[in-house]
Structure 1
Amino acid sequence: MALYDAVSDLPVRIDEISLSRRERDTSSGFTRVTTVISLSGEGEIGKGEDVTYETADHDALLEAGAPDLEGEYTLDEFSARLADLELFPDGPSREDFRHYRRWAFESAALDLALRQADTDLASALDRQYDPVRFIASTRLGDPPTFDRIERFLENDPDLEFKLDPTSKWDDELIDRLADTGAVRVVDLKGQYEGTEVDQAPDPDLYERVINGLSESVIEDPALTEGTRPVLEGHEDRVSWDATIHGIADVEELPWEPDWLNIKPSRFGSVESLFETIEFCIEREIAMYGGGQFELDVGRGQIQAIASLFYADSANDVAPGGYNDPEVVEGLAQSPLDPPAEPAGFRW
C-alpha cells in the first residue's frame, strides 16, 4: 500500500480551531516567529506549526483568525478543502509560504485524525520509530570564526554539522573544519533568491569548499557558467533543498540526484511529502531531514518523519537548543530515542 493511501481515508472531525504565537531568538541573528495551529474534536487536539518566515504574515493570520474549517472529513477531503482556500488574509510575502501554512494545517489534521483513531503515524504506516541521528546546523558569524564549532565540540566531541559557507570563509577556517572530520553537509544557499541567507554564486568559494571538505554533501549550489565546471565530477555529492516541493521538482533537476534534503513544510501536503519519499526510496536517492527553525510541535514532527524513513542519515533536526544564540551545556546528544508511548503525529 502506498504511504498516503494508509492515511488518506482516516476520518477527522474538527469542532474548534485555535492559533497561538511562538517567538525565539536564534543563532542566525534573527527572531523566529511561528504559529501553532490547534484543531480540536472528539476530546482530542491535533497540532501543526506554520513556519512562514515573515512576522507580518503571522500577525495578519492571528488578527484575522482561523479559516472556517470545522466539519467532518477524511484526511484527503480536508487536504482538498485547504487547496481551495486562501490561507493568507493579505497574501503571502513569498509564494513558497503557501506550502508552509498549508503544511501546518495538514499536519495538525493528520495528528488529530490519528489521535481520534487511537493510533500513531508509525502504526498507521506499518513502520517503526527508530532512534534519530541528528547534526547541528549553524552559521559561523560575520566575520566567520571557528568559535561556535569549538564550543559545540567541547560539549559533545561526536557532534556533526551542516554549515553555510560564505565568501568570507578563508582557507585556514576550511582547514580547521576539515580537521574535525565532522562536517557532513555544506549548504551553498545558491537556490535562494531575495532572502537574508542568499549566497551569490562564487566559483572560488565552491572550489575551496568542495576540495577542502571533500567528504561533505554539497547542498543547493547555483549552476552558472562559472560554478558548473567546478562541480564537474562531484555531481554524486550534490543535494537539493530549496526548490523541492514534490516529485515534479525532483524530475526537473539538472541530473538525477543522489541526495535530497526533505523538509516536510516545503511540500505543503501530506500526499506530496509521502509520494516524494516513496519516489526516493524506489530510486535509491539518499534522504536526510531538514528543519525551518521550528519552535514547537513542528520540531517533533520533522524528527518523527526522519525516524520513520531516514533515521541514520545526516538529519538537520536537532533539538531547539541547538538554534539558540549561545551554546550551553546539557544539550541532548545524538541519536534521539523514540517516544515510549507514541500518539498521533508527534515525537
Structure 2
Amino acid sequence: MTTLADSAASPAPVPAPALRPHRIPADGLYEGHRVLRRTPDGWEDRPYERFEVVPQAATIGAEIRGLDLSRPLSGGLRAELNRALLEWKVLFFRGQHLSSAAQREFARNWGELESNPLLAWGDSKDVVRFDKAAGGVPTFENVWHTDVTFRERPALGAVLQLREVPPAGGDTLWADMAAAYDNLPPEIRARVNGARAVHDYLPGFARFYSTVQLAPFQEQFPPVEHPVVRRHPETGRRMLFVNASFTTRIVGLEEAESDRLLRVLFQQAQVPEFQVRWRWQAGDLAFWDNRATQHYAVNDYGTHRRVAERVAIAGDRPY
C-alpha cells in the first residue's frame, strides 16, 4: 500500500519540453485522413451483368470491358452504363476507334448534343476538335475545370476520343467533386451550403483568345449564377460546383473574402485521393459526368501531336 511517506519520496513529474511557436499557413491543403465514399449513403451496390468494370481509383474512374460502342445500345445496356457512370463518374473504353458519327450516336443516348462556338469544330458543329502540335493554341490544358459552367445549363457530360496520341504524356485527370465536398472542413461547408457563385466564360477563354475574338460572345454568354454546392439530379449527392476557369466570385462577399474562399475551394480538386489519371491509347474513349467532376488535360508532350474529339451532352440547371 502506498503511504504518505512513499508519495513524498516520489520524484516530481518531468515537465514536457517546450516547443517553439509553429503553425501551418491558413487555407492550404492538409495531410491526414480522407473520407472516400464512392456512392451516396444508402446506395445499393449491385453487380454488373452486361460488361466488366475495372476500377482505376478509389472513388472515381472505371474501365469498361466487353463492349463495342459502335453498336446501338439496348435500353437495358444504356441503363446499366448510366448506373456505372453515376457510381464511377468517368468511364473508360479502350480501342473503340469510333467515327465522329458513331461517337455522336453514342452520346445521344444521354440527351441532346450541344455545340460550343468558342472552340474548333470537327465534322459537325457538335463535335469539338482539339488538334495540338507545336505552336498550337493551348486551349483548356493545364487547368482544373468543369466544362461550360458559364452556361445557364452546363453540360450533363462529355464523350472524348483520342484520335492521335503523343509517344509519351498527354494524360487526362478527373477529380471527384463529391469527395471534394465531403472533405471540406466543417466550418467551410457551413459557409458554402446555400451560397451562390458567378460563372463567366471570359476568364477561362482570355487565357488564349484575344479581346477581339472574345467580345462578340458577351451577349450570347452573360455571367450566370450557380450554387456553390449543387445536388446531383440523379443521386441527390452534394458536390462542389466551382472551378478555376469560370467561377469569378461568390455572391454577397467582398472581393478579398470571395477570392480567399474560392482559392480554398479550387484546391479541393488537387487532392490525389479524389482523382483518377488515364494514359491514353489511340482509339480510347472517355465518358464523364460533367455535373460531378472536374478534369485536367496535361500538356507535357512537347512538340508531338495530340488529336482529340469531344461531344458534349446538354444538361440541366444546377440546384
User: TM-score if structure 1 supplies the norm length?
Assistant: 0.25
Choose between structure 1 and 2: higher strand proportion: 2
Q: Which has the larger share of helix?
A: 1
Rg larger in structure: 2
Higher relative contact order, chain-length normalized (CA < 8 Å, sep 6+): 2
